[in-house]
Structure 1
Amino acid sequence: MFSSCLSDNTDNIVYYDDCALTAFSVGTLKIVKDTVSSKGEDSTYTTTLNCSRYAFTIDQEKGLIYNLDSLPRGIDATKVLVTAVAKNGGSVALKSLKDDTQSYYSSTDSIDLSQPRHFIVRSLRGDSNREYIVTLNVHKQKAEELVWNSSAISNGDLASLKAMKGVACGGKVYVFGHDGSKARIFAAPESNAAAWSEITPGTTLSVDAYKSAAAYAGKLYVYSNGSLLVSADAETWTEVASPALKLLLGASGARLYGLTDAHQLMSSKDGGATWTADELDSDAGLLPADNLNFITLPLSGNASGSHLVLVGTTTTEARVWGKIEENDPNAQNQPWAYYNVSSGNKYKVPNLNGLQAVNYDGGILAIGGSAVGAAASTPFAGFYRSGDAGITWKPDTTYYFPKGFSAPGEVLTLVKDSKNYLWIVCGGTGQVWHGAKNRLVWETTKRYFTE
């Protein structure tokens, strides 16, 4: 009997007919960045940026590949290293920018993605193919550049106001003020800074009601003639209560805040129906007297809480108070703390006529006219920014007043709307300026990164 030593060494090769890209990414790219030379002149330099973590969406139905989160401005999109993975060993080709000729893709050859490119995937079997259009999105704007409308929007009715306060609420910007004899209210949609209309309130408001204008829980509030009023449209007003306040200061996400004639800070957790005296850690006589600004900042590590800042002027200096507002059921109520300015603090809050302050880009921005009591000072000299909730205030040259800005009499209001745009409305000229830092108003705010 003989046994065979032969065996079957035949390999079964499967030729798949799949033709799809299953993964797409870009590598380290060159980028031109802005800088300032030792002489203070604007300059640029070239470096590299690892872009592999920017995720690309592959729309298999439409045959589109694109990055939702745009690469930074300055990226050189003409020389891009690409990693493209085809399903089941399919091959990938790239169509020429000049004609329909194709060349095989290589992960080691750079590709010009400065315009949409056509990638073609062929199945391993070779009997089917599929085309994708690849778009590399790159920001065209400088992220940190502040851009105002190119010329002032002028409104004669706004020009007539002798005092004003702006409030953003419900997709609109409202300006409360008076013309010297009566209260007036104007509104414009956030989408159109030129579309102002006057609103005639059904209830007669006091001339100084503008000082108490505030937004809370999607509604407008004012304190007028001894009554706290609420409205959804600034036309129809309903009385909430008659608290003994001097004015309404503003609101956090959870409470309204007010000030009495006796310099007592008050708060309400039920929309103004009832009020409770807040504790102060220092003499109430140290509260600011004029140009009061109430700012609400997010509280790190506590989504339900807020960091509150009250800043305003006196005849001698500007003053700042702060409070940690915690709204958990078992949280301890914290007092308002006076921010005493040390002699070594070179960056104290400026004591400016018409001082305006708003929450912007994680800090507080402040502007104002000339220094209180200093006739020779320059009005509207620049923007100040506090990045530490009101302790220090430094001039910030990345913010600037628009060319042609004019607010005679130092009457103006500064507002931040829900879309992160800044509004400056000026009395006397009726100018309306609308602008933002590019980074804060780009449509895609979520970062789409891979692990």
Structure 2
Amino acid sequence: MKLKFLSIVLAGVMITAFSMTSCLNDDIEQVTYTNETSITGFSLGTLWCEMVGTAQDGSDSLYMDTVSFEDYPFTIDQLNRTIENRDSLPVNVDISRVLVDISADTPYIIYGKIKEAGGEATDTLWTSTDSIDFSVAPAEGLSFKVLSMNGIYGREYHVKVNVHKQDPDLLTWSENESEVPFTAQTLIRQKAVYTNGRIYVFGQNGDTPCIEYTTVSANGKANGWTPVENVPANTNTYSAMVWQDKIYFLAGGELYELADDVPQLSADSPADIRLQQLLANATTTNGATYLYAYTEDNRCVTYDGTAWSEDTPDTALPSAGQRFSYAALPLSYNANIARTFLFGTHTDNAGTESGFMAHRLTNESTWNVYDYTQSDTLRCPNIADATMIYYDKKLYAFGGAINSAQHEDYQAPFSTFFASTDNGLTWKPVTEDVTFPSSSFAGKYEAGYALGEGSYSCVVDENNFIWIIWHDGTMSRGRINRLGFLPKW
């Protein structure tokens, strides 16, 4: 750093010190000036920020506006002499003209002013009206130091103003994250599950059931498909699910599990009940766990890990044998209860006004089906090859073509996410941030749609990545940006 001697400041300090000491005699107490040089407070003022508004013609329009950031906390590490905001400023904030408020042991604060990126810093006396350009700061930040009252420079602080490089609320996609095909080449009637760092896809190659898996890393990379051997010939691929850290599925009306990637009859399989479909499962905060299923004679049953019991009769479930999606959430106010959501498709003409949505509590014995007959209700969309996921504290639904009349503007496959924040009671199309890549996903889906029902599957992993597995085994991957930010506290 090129040093510029601040003669006025130093001269003032030294003259004051000389005057005091020259007048001293035995009757006057000597004054010793402090050598403290700490910065004790740092905050921002009002900054310019790029905003999105609506123009007169209804289109999105960018404009600049001022926003106060004085409440953004800055962490001062006195040991390492660093100052930064660990909660980054929003994307598109302009930090080239920054007014700061600094508290220190003395009012004499010197900072290394840089005029352009890569330029040399020049020591400059800071004032509260200085507009500082943090956009050209080096990686370690701008240098600030305090001049003590006895004329000694303190050890410098490095100050950084962190700004998000990505829109934190934007769902970012890698459309061709994996281009490795299934070993079976093509799978229809797919159901994907995730456990222990692996994605397992159950599907059919023609009439032959198959199970293949791939390991995915914490940074969202997949390493290709490995087939599971000796898959039972009568496997119901839509029944696959993870329960109590194991993968369960049905074959010939009996409950199977994967043990070390080997299919085997489960000890939990009921002796006197033939199962047609595994619907969902739920675990309460205190550890109680339940598995919900549908029998071959159209009864709903529940397994609590000890015994199977029949639910209240006459639960209305649509189109037995379809791929259901589910989500289960513990109740925040009662550790003994969890709520489970079941999502499906109406295939009959009478059901085209809405999709199928039901819920139940773990202390109940029946599914409660939502009634979307009210004309002012934001109904559940009726989606072919539907998928529902719980993501970012919301329920999201998407998939193939939509035939519910209320959603005629969103009928194309993979054109829109629908979101619910009230336990599936109402659903709204998402038009900003959480979206699909323009038309490309519809093309991927339609390329396999002629092969049969369920020509894709979807799963969310522990790192908040949404994985879509297409009919040929290629994969697309997405994540809301902020769900991938590392915690700084």
Amino acid at match of 1:112: D
Q: What stretches of structure 1 of length at least 5 have no aligned partner?
A: 1-7, 326-331
1:195-344 matches, within 5 Å, as 195-201=223-229, 204-231=231-258, 233-235=260-262, 239-243=266-270, 244=273, 245-254=275-284, 255=289, 256-270=291-305, 273-279=306-312, 283-287=314-318, 289=320, 290-297=322-329, 299-302=331-334, 305-316=337-348, 317=351, 318-325=355-362, 333=364, 335-344=366-375
Contact 2:254 2:265 in 1 (8 A): no
Q: Among residues 174, 178, 181, which one is paired with 1:149 in the alignment?
A: 174
| C-alpha distance in 1 between matches for 2:420 and 2:398 | 12
The corresponding residue for 2:212 is 185
Aligned residue pairs total 425
Q: Structure 1 residue 238: deviation in Å?
A: 6.7
SS in 2 for 1:156: coil
> CA 1:216/1:67 → structure 2, altered by over 3 Å: closer, same or farther?
farther
- Equivalent pairs: percent with the same residue? 30
> CA 1:15/1:220 → structure 2, altered by over 3 Å: closer, same or farther?
farther
Q: Structure 1 residue 434: deviation in Å?
A: 0.3
Considering only CA atoms, is the larger Rg found in Structure 1 or Structure 2?
A: 2
> CA 1:276/1:382 → structure 2, altered by over 3 Å: closer, same or farther?
same
| C-alpha distance in 1 between matches for 2:259 and 2:34 | 63
Task: Please tell me whether residue 400 in structure 1 is matched to residue 417 in structure 2.
Answer: no
Task: Please tell me whether residue 426 in structure 1 is matched to residue 470 in structure 2.
Answer: yes
1:158-173 matches, within 5 Å, as 159-173=185-199
> CA 1:35/1:298 → structure 2, altered by over 3 Å: closer, same or farther?
farther
Q: Among residues 78, 96, 108, which one is paired with 1:91 in the alignment?
A: 108
Task: Please tell me whether residue 414 in structure 1 is matched to residue 458 in structure 2.
Answer: yes
Task: Please tell me whether residue 442 in structure 1 is matched to residue 485 in structure 2.
Answer: yes
Q: TM-score, normalised by structure 2?
A: 0.77
Could you say what the CA RMSD is over the residues aligned between the two structures, in angstroms?
3.0
Q: Structure 1 residue 103: deviation in Å?
A: 1.6
Q: Among residues 162, 175, 188, which one is paired with 1:137 in the alignment?
A: 162
Deviates more, 1:135-144 or 1:340-349: 340-349
Task: Please tell me whether residue 56 in structure 1 is matched to residue 74 in structure 2.
Answer: yes
Task: Please tell me whether residue 382 in structure 1 is matched to residue 416 in structure 2.
Answer: yes
| C-alpha distance in 2 between matches for 1:149 and 1:101 | 44
The corresponding residue for 2:399 is 368
The corresponding residue for 2:15 is none
> CA 1:250/1:284 → structure 2, altered by over 3 Å: closer, same or farther?
closer
> CA 1:238/1:63 → structure 2, altered by over 3 Å: closer, same or farther?
farther
SS in 2 for 1:439: helix
Q: Structure 1 residue 162: deviation in Å?
A: 1.7
Contact 2:316 2:369 in 1 (8 A): no
Q: Among residues 130, 137, 152, which one is paired with 1:127 in the alignment?
A: 152
| C-alpha distance in 2 between matches for 1:78 and 1:246 | 64
Q: What stretches of structure 2 of length at least 5 have no aligned partner?
A: 1-25
| C-alpha distance in 2 between matches for 1:162 and 1:352 | 17
SS in 2 for 1:440: helix
| C-alpha distance in 2 between matches for 1:46 and 1:279 | 59
